[in-house]
Structure 1
Amino acid sequence: MTKDVKGTKEPKEMYHFSAVDSIERLPLSEQVYVTLKQAILTGELLPHEKLNEVKIAEQLKVSATPVREAFRKLAKDNLVVIVPWKGVTVKADTPEEIVALYQCREVMEGLGARLCARHATSEQVEELKELCREMHAIEDATARVEVNSRFHSMIAQFSGNERVVDYLLDFRERVNRDMYLSSFNAVRTHDCDDEHDHIVDAIERHDEVAAENAMRQHINNAFIFKRANAEIQDKKLNEV
């Protein structure tokens, strides 16, 4: 799968979708919606990428109507942009949206790490260390995101603060989308693994300040990568 923004001015000739099957008797438009949403959240469909209604319908073996309905639902999710007479594109985050998301993540996940260092049991620390070992060994992007997401969720859960857990759940899908993009970068992947180790080391020592600082630095590094990646994509798009 090519992970760049080549061809974003023109629709793809072919998408990598399979014909939709019955998903617990969901309406056809809902099945198309789930398929496209998953493709966007996992980075199969990249920001700025133009979506061709006819070609998607052909590959999914459905009519254009459920695809059109799925586009409308994705627009409500803030995942695509529909411009009359110009078509549909995968939404890219604005610089302001990127800053806002990562500011919130840094504060809330930093608090979660601090409280986790205060309350985590030895058994919980071992669970976190095991996840870190898994991430060091995983190369598949999808598997990495699943474990990485579990790592962050687990720290929030071990914090003992339900508001931290609920707050992070509100934008978990949005964060996972960024995790997919970073998982295709070997340097960022290696750095993430080391940063996770530092966080868990501080939690194991019950050093609340160090745990919070390590988590905040981790989120800030993710922000720097995300912003740089967005700028590169915008530059490539403008060069097309």
Structure 2
Amino acid sequence: MDKTEEYRLHSIDSIGRLPLSEQVYMSLKQAILTGSLKPKVKLSEVRIAEQLNVSATPVREAFRKLAKDNLVVIKPWKGVTVKGYSPEEIVAMYQCREVMEGLGARLCAERCTEEQLSELQEVCDAGIHTENPEERVAINSRFHTLIAEFSGNDRVADYLADFREMVNRDMYISTSDKTRTISCDLEHQQIMEAIHERNGQLAEERMRAHVRNAFVFKKAHAELLAKQKEK
């Protein structure tokens, strides 16, 4: 059954001259990624429009964009809910992600140009030097996206792009854990070392280990939340 709760959306007044639908989209997307809007929560077009002081039209347009990002589910006659995933779906996603991210890292190490390598290193360094959660998530997403793009395999890049926002939701959780943040930075550096060495096998092994570690952290976090609810 869908859950309901009070929406906590940031004002869109300060985003500038973007179209209203884009502003509403960004506000809702941020709320979903950060957990302010939780999985399975039903989104009311009317209530969101009232809170953000806009008409229903930009809200509907924002819903469609969020659906393309796999962040919400739109069901005719039933409405819109924040996308949730079963434990089985999460396991399956991380299994596929490990394989595809690993392949992307291998191909990137073997194929990327020196210019691309420099850009990738800059992004890696930027992630290490910021503590802002939103910046860290954006930089992490950029790091993984670039590796996929620089693999030269469009299928890898397209496949990983399909669930990048799901990964970003998990990243917001891990940014609140200092130990995982430090480990993540170290893992990124180790991946970069392998890519610099043009060692495709090592780059793949380190990327796959990085994804497995992310899954272990997510699983432990979910188990902790479940125990807290039982108390």
TM-score range for the pair, normalised by the shorter chain length: 0.7 to 0.9
What is the aligned-residue identity percentage?
Answer: 55
Q: Which moved more, 1:67-76 or 1:41-50?
A: 67-76
Which one scores higher on RCO, CA 8 angstroms, separation ≥ 6? 1
Residues 117 and 206, structure 1, Cα contact 8 Å, conserved in 2 = yes
Give the C-alpha shift of residue 159 in structure 1: 1.2
Give the C-alpha shift of residue 152 in structure 1: 0.7
Give the C-alpha shift of residue 210 in structure 1: 0.8
Residue 234 of structure 1: aligned partner: 226
Residues 68 and 170 (structure 1), Cα distance of their counterparts in 2 relative to 1, 3 Å cut:
closer
| TM-score normalised over the length of structure 2 | 0.78
1:103 paired to 2:95 = yes
Residues 45 and 90, structure 1, Cα contact 8 Å, conserved in 2 = yes
The one of 191, 195, 203 aligned to 1:199: 191
The one of 8, 11, 14 aligned to 1:15: 8
| TM-score normalised over the length of structure 1 | 0.75
Residues 81 and 204 (structure 1), Cα distance of their counterparts in 2 relative to 1, 3 Å cut:
closer
Residues 160 and 49 (structure 1), Cα distance of their counterparts in 2 relative to 1, 3 Å cut:
same
Residue 123 of structure 2: aligned partner: 131
| One-letter identity of the residue aligned with 1:159 | S
In structure 1, distance between residues paired with 2:175 and 2:52: 27
Gaps of 5+ in 1: 1-8
Q: Deviations over 1:83-130 (max 9, x none)?
A: xxxx98755421111111111110001001111111123332222222
Residues 128 and 151, structure 1, Cα contact 8 Å, conserved in 2 = yes
Gaps of 5+ in 2: none
Q: Which moved more, 1:88-97 or 1:105-114?
A: 88-97
3-state secondary structure, aligned to 1:201? helix
Aligned length: 223
Q: Deviations over 1:47-83 (max 9, x none)?
A: 46687888755532358x779968986689764689x
Over aligned residues, Cα RMSD in angstroms? 3.4
Residues 17 and 59, structure 1, Cα contact 8 Å, conserved in 2 = no
